[in-house]
Amino acid sequence: MTVLVTGGSGFLGAHCVAHLLRLGHDVRATVRSPARADAVRAAVGGPAGPSSVDGLSFTVADLTADDGWDAAVAGCDAVLHVASPFPAGEPRRADDVIGPARDGTLRVLRAARDAGVRRTVVTSSFAAVGYGRRAPGHVFREDDWSDAPAGAYIRSKLIAERAAWDFAGRHGTALTVINPTGILGPPLSRDYSLYVTLIEQMLNGRLPALPRLSYGLVDVRDVADLHARALTDPAAVGERFIAVAGQMSLDRIAALLRARLGPAARRVSTRTLPDGLVRLAARVSPRMALIVPDLGVERPTTSDKARAVLDWAPRSIDESILDTATRLSRLGLLRTPIRS
């Protein structure tokens, strides 16, 4: 197939591009500027990428504008809509994030419909699934929806996914949605996720104490694989799939790094940051305020549906964390490199 991947320069987008090329598809990736194309080609074609990038091309399009999207989807059989704004902190205006996420998704879906694209897969997030009041011990599944989202990013993912399903219902779009939890794994470049950043900060001693946070996690390579499976399996149409390999707290991640990486992990702190200090810091730090509701909270989540319907088998979180650390070292981003 010829597949359009939006956000091809991002952490997940680049892995989706590389995985589709390995499978033999032709890939057209959107970038916001032509200058980004060479960097993406270099990242995707590196040692961890496919053997050839001959099937890769680029087109310029931005989620905030109509220009470029008709040309982007022209001649494509399928679309992976991966791009979405991810702010470094809480924005002053929530709609600065919500608007581009919702309207950008609808721009892509409209262009795909008008071009006769057969299959569309949209990347949503666990943010659209797991935020709100639930009974203790509740295990999150695909029929769950966030009902009390906090923060502009979480709201943006919920609103954008709701808009996508509404569009698909009105226009008969063959839509699938993927809802990943926290994504980590080996970056192809220095563009990577918040969860990879956490690993980098731990190893470089930039987190002297760890708040009581626990995350659902999944490897970026497995999320890319799930997207590709959803593109080709008829059973995926009209379904959403949670991508999660398991749960892990920050203190357990720190313990794993210390146990497995030797001198490279000597700066990793295993001290716990008291909840009271986090709440105190939250009075002056919007970023700290965002994590207060998550202190000590676990959100058990299952990927049974993806495993059963699409035969998806994610790697272990331990493997993902260690592979993440190794790649960060190879990119020259650790103060003490990992010695093999």
Choose, from 15, 41, 107, 157, the residue flagged as catalytic: 157
pLDDT band at 88 (very low <50, low <70, confident <90, very high): low
Mean pLDDT of the chain: 93
Q: Quickly state the pLDDT bin for 84 (edges 50, 70, 90).
A: confident
What does the block give as tokens for 65?
A: 């504008």
What does the pLDDT look like over 9-28, one tens digit per residue? 999 999 999 999 999 999 99
What pLDDT score does 136 carry?
A: 81
Backbone conformation region of residue 89, classed left if phi is above 0, alpha if psi is from -120 to 50, else beta? beta
- On whether the CB atoms of residues 161 and 128 are closer than 8 A, the answer is yes
For residue 234, give the amino acid letter: P
H-helix segments, the chain? 11-22, 36-44, 69-73, 95-115, 152-171, 194-203, 220-232, 250-260, 275-282, 286-291, 304-310, 317-330
Segment 287-320, tens digit of pLDDT? 788 788 889 989 999 999 999 999 999 999 999 9
List the structure tokens of 249. 């707290």
Q: Looking at the predicted structure, is the pLDDT value of residue 203 above 80?
A: yes
Query: Which band of pLDDT confidence, cut at 50, 70 and 90, is reported for residue 135?
Result: confident
Q: Which candidate, 189, 181, 196, 168, places its Cα nearest to that of 226? A: 181
pTM, entire model: 0.95
Q: Which residue has the tokens 């569009």?
A: 167
With cut-offs at 50, 70 and 90, classify the pLDDT of residue 245.
very high
Q: What is the mean pLDDT of residues 109-136?
A: 93
The model's confidence at residue 157, banded by pLDDT at 50, 70 and 90, is very high
Q: Which pLDDT band, with edges at 50, 70 and 90, does 132 fall under?
A: confident
* Other beta carbons less than 10 A from residue 286's beta carbon: 12
Domain 2-193+218-247+298-315 belongs to what topology?
A: Rossmann fold (3.40.50)
Residue 78: strand, helix, or coil: strand
Mean pLDDT of 101-107: 95
- 87 confidence band (pLDDT: 50, 70, 90): low
- The answer to whether the CB of 272 falls within 8 A of the CB of 212 is yes
157 noted as active-site residue: yes
pLDDT band at 285 (very low <50, low <70, confident <90, very high): confident
For residue 201, is pLDDT > 70?
A: yes
Q: Is 183's pLDDT higher than 90?
A: yes
What are the residue boundaries of the structural domains of the chain, listed by start? 2-193+218-247+298-315
Q: Is the pLDDT of residue 90 over 70?
A: no
The DSSP call for residue 212 is S
214-222 mean pLDDT: 97
